[in-house]
Amino acid sequence: MDTTTLSNILWMLAPGHGFSIRGSVENEAAFNQNVVYEDTTKKPSWAQVQGGEDAEQWVQIRGLRSSKLLICDWTVLTDVPFSTEKRDEWETYRQELRDITDQPDPFNINWPTPPE
pTM of the predicted model as reported, rounded to 2 decimal places: 0.68
Q: What is the pLDDT along the chain (116 residues), one digit of tens a residue?
A: 888 889 999 998 988 899 999 999 999 999 999 999 999 999 999 999 988 888 888 988 999 999 999 999 999 998 999 999 999 999 999 999 999 999 999 889 999 999 98
Of the candidates 31, 40, 93, the one whose C-alpha atom is nearest the C-alpha of residue 68 is 93
Helix (H) or strand (E) holding 47: helix 46-71
Residue type, 74: W
